[in-house]
Amino acid sequence: MDAKQWGVYVHIPFCRQKCFYCDFPSFAGRERYWEDYTGALCREIAVRGSYYRQQWGKPATIYLGGGTPSILPEKFMKQLLSELRQIFLPDGKAEEFTVECNPGTVDEPYLAMLRNRGVNRLSFGVQSFDDTLLKRIGRIHNGQQAVDAVAMARRVGFANLSLDLMYGLPGQTLEQLKESVEQALSLKPEHISIYGLQLEEGTAFYRMQELGKLNLPTDDVTEAMYDYMTEYLPSQGYERYEISNFARPGFESRHNMSYWQDVPYLGVGAAAHSYLDGQRWAAFAELDRYMDAIKENRIPVEPEEAATTAIAIEEFCFLALRTAKGISREKFLQKFGREMDVWYGTVLRDLSARKLLVDDGRYVRLTRQGMKYGNLVFEKFLLDAQDF
């Protein structure tokens, strides 16, 4: 059997409370679902997972995201990890096996349990070390808990940790951000992700903004925050390998890279996305609908609009452009049968002249400016259906 590069994503859609900015598919107050949902995940892994495992061999990466995976009590997490290992990892090991953790939901025995069951990378949603800010955005943890969580993870043997930070938060100053970044660096994580606050419809912050009650930093301050992070982190040894992601050499997230590099992945669980055989699928987001489908041996997914060639090309470019490496011209040619200049010749010349892109003949990548004004570049990569 030919081993194929692919990954597995497992979605845990539970949180202790909903953060005020969050529009991810996650629910608070659904403790009554934990047991049955874990059972449904295990069943889906056993059926769909086994199918792809037989086709493609062992996945290179497994990623438990959410929601808050670490909210699952030990009993259910053990059950899930044992199913994952049994189906996907006959030798007990994955190249990269990540669990997202909320610093407010873990203790040392829990992290040791993850480590002993093959998890080799943790991603902590820290966002800030400033307690007032954390409260203001609806997080359940405080700065000290984040420091303690990292120390515990180190003690039980994790050598690959990622911290998420946010900027552009209500009332946040550049000084506060700098303090949080310094504190993050003092913990020596291998990987840091930074996200600017986005106001998404349906969130508490969106409603507050509509009522004029959200005190956001000005555009100038937000831009200064962005400039500071994107200049300072590389100077401290964290290479920017994707628009929002920085890592020490060799610690780039393999799983996330696969999203941007057109590698297939199987999504397991409610609302999980899959990219298989060139098709993207999204599982039912409603928990009951998802669990009923699993119970009745139905695939819990609905096909997204069949990707036209135009959409497939756009997606390929958008995803690859996010990375420091950029779009591989050769990969583009292999996948779509024609040079990318057929569709993008003028765009490439124009964006290169404006110093937003570099085209070295093998790769087309964003410059630093291009990353900053990514949306401006991405919109140029939209295709006209009439071109096909």
Q: Name the residues that contact ligand SF4, by CB under 6 A.
A: 15, 18-19, 22, 24, 26, 66-68, 102, 125
Residue (170 or 264) nearer to ligand SF4, CB: 170
E strand or H helix at 293, and its extent? helix 287-295
CA distance 173 to 43: 47
In sequence order, what are the beta bridge partners of 101?
124
Residue (68 or 160) nearer to ligand SF4, CB: 68
Shortest distance, CB of residue 11 to ligand SF4, whole angstroms?
Answer: 10
Q: Are strands 245-247 and 191-196 parallel, antiparallel or unpaired?
A: antiparallel
Shortest distance, CB of residue 166 to ligand SF4, whole angstroms?
Answer: 9
CA distance 162 to 63: 13
Residue (68 or 128) nearer to ligand SF4, CB: 68
Shortest distance, CB of residue 63 to ligand SF4, whole angstroms?
Answer: 14
| Contact criterion met (CB below 8 Å) for 96 and 60 | yes
In sequence order, what are the beta bridge partners of 7?
61, 265
* Range list of β-strands (E), 115-167: 121-127, 161-167
Shortest distance, CB of residue 242 to ligand SF4, whole angstroms?
Answer: 20
Paired tokens of 347? 């765009």
Buried b (16+ CB within 10 A) or exposed e, 23-44: eebbeeeeeebbeebbbbbbbb
Shortest distance, CB of residue 18 to ligand SF4, whole angstroms?
Answer: 5
Shortest distance, CB of residue 28 to ligand SF4, whole angstroms?
Answer: 7
Shortest distance, CB of residue 234 to ligand SF4, whole angstroms?
Answer: 26
Please give the distance of CA 337 from its chain centroid, rounded to a whole number: 30
Amino acid identity, position 146: A
CA distance 181 to 189: 11
The three-state secondary structure class of 184 is helix
Q: Which residue has the tokens 């199918």?
A: 51
Shortest distance, CB of residue 280 to ligand SF4, whole angstroms?
Answer: 21
CA distance 205 to 193: 22
Q: Are strands 14-15 and 27-28 parallel, antiparallel or unpaired?
A: parallel
Q: Which residue has the tokens 């996948």?
A: 335
Shortest distance, CB of residue 387 to ligand SF4, whole angstroms?
Answer: 39
CA distance 126 to 114: 19
